[in-house]
Amino acid sequence: MTSGARKVKNMPDTVELAQDLVRFSTVLGENERTALEYLAGPLEDAGFACSFDVYDENRPQSASLIARLHPEDEAPSLYLGGHIDTVPFGNAAWRHDPLGGVIEDGRLYGRGACDMKGGVAALVRAALDFSLENNASSRKRDLVLHIYGGEEGGCFGSRVAARRVELFGKPGAGIVAEPSALMPLSGHKGALWLTLRTTGRTAHASMPDKGDNALLSMLRVAARLADFHPDASHKLLGNATAALTSLHSGLNSNSIPDKAELTLDMRTVPGVDHAGLARRVAETTGADAHIEVVYDAPAVWTDPDLPWSVRVRELTCAITGDTPEVRCANFFTDAASVRTVFPDLPLCILGPGDPALAHVTDEFCPVEQIRAARRIYVALIADWYAGRG
């Protein structure tokens, strides 16, 4: 096994890399390609074959970075995943410039510091560390690194990449570096987002009987859904949920609305058939509403008793000093897209930063966690390839 502390010349420092990434504004996908090209530089120097997967043809900056060390290797590789985009800054004033990449009191501040540029920097640096040894060895191993764009809008980058299975090579297990405060998480709920639409006929509001009020139709639909439950639960992930989250209708106060739109956000657990769930919603609402699936991501769950899962907890906790408990995430991640390609691939969500600090004003990531994340990834990569070919 290698030590992560090995000093390497001309290699970016993990924390400096994270600072630089924060300085690229990648709010909702802007400048993604530019930031990813910056990462591709040292990766290509280290021997990674890098390419960019465009996920939205209407936006030249929309991209995911696909880096492979030795694609010709047939043995199971380790997959590493993250995302480069961030949410907007929000309306409240920041005490630290959200694009400054400033470190104060051991914390890297900025939008994306926690979610998840600290994690991306640690992944990239650990991949570079591995490349040095691997390139020097006679046994060339593949290591697969995907840094996606468009995650915050609904995992667009990873969903598009997932249509091209060849981008993933032959992974045997995968790590997604979303913030988990360096605790290995065994999975998360799935998501099924539906938009329901009703249509009617507009008329002057003084003569409502001349029109057909789409808002009234939608309110009846919403009332039927008020007590709708997916009726499923999981021992760690908890109950599957359903929530009505937005209602839009009408353009002005004196016209009968001819259109109404309602969104339903459902979070599911392993074993829930999303198509069947959407059918149950349709049966509940009746024929009044047209239903569109806007996001469909399966739940992610990896058996925590798998030898690899146990090993990840042991190796991580040996570095963090934490207790190796089985935990899961509240949020969903790009791991769901990976799961659609590889239904049985063991996956772990593990990254620096407190998930509660994602998306907040004055978001930060402790610098020590970024450094520890690199050491953890180095250990996990070395462990994966040791004894495998």
Applying CB under 5 A, the residues found at the interface with Zn ion are 115-116, 178
Q: Which is nearer to Zn ion, 4 or 98 (CB)?
A: 98
Minimum Å gap between C-beta 341 and Zn ion is 19
Rounded CA gap, 201 and 212, in Å? 5
Tokens of 375: 């050491």
Minimum Å gap between C-beta 329 and Zn ion is 10
Each residue of 199-235: b (16+ CB within 10 Å) or e?
Answer: ebebbebeeeeebbbbbbbbbebbebbeebebebebe
Rounded CA gap, 336 and 303, in Å? 15
Minimum Å gap between C-beta 176 and Zn ion is 9
Helix (H) or strand (E) holding 89: none
User: CB nearest Zn ion: which residue?
Assistant: 115
Q: Is 286 exposed, middle or buried (0-12, 13-18, 19+ CB in 10 A)?
A: exposed
Q: Residues 274, 276, 281, 287: what is their CA dihedral angle, to the nearest 10 degrees? A: 130
Tokens of 172: 């045997």
Q: Which is nearer to Zn ion, 178 or 354 (CB)?
A: 178
Q: Which is nearer to Zn ion, 53 or 115 (CB)?
A: 115
How many other CB atoms are found less than 10 A from the CB of residue 104?
A: 12
Minimum Å gap between C-beta 340 and Zn ion is 18
How many other CB atoms are found less than 10 A from the CB of residue 344?
A: 8
Q: Which is nearer to Zn ion, 116 or 350 (CB)?
A: 116
Cis peptide upstream of residue 116 (ω within 30 degrees of 0): yes
Minimum Å gap between C-beta 82 and Zn ion is 8
Give the 3-state secondary structure of residue 95.
coil
Minimum Å gap between C-beta 377 and Zn ion is 17
Q: Which is nearer to Zn ion, 178 or 258 (CB)?
A: 178
Q: Which is nearer to Zn ion, 177 or 221 (CB)?
A: 177
Minimum Å gap between C-beta 194 and Zn ion is 23
Q: Which is nearer to Zn ion, 73 or 85 (CB)?
A: 85
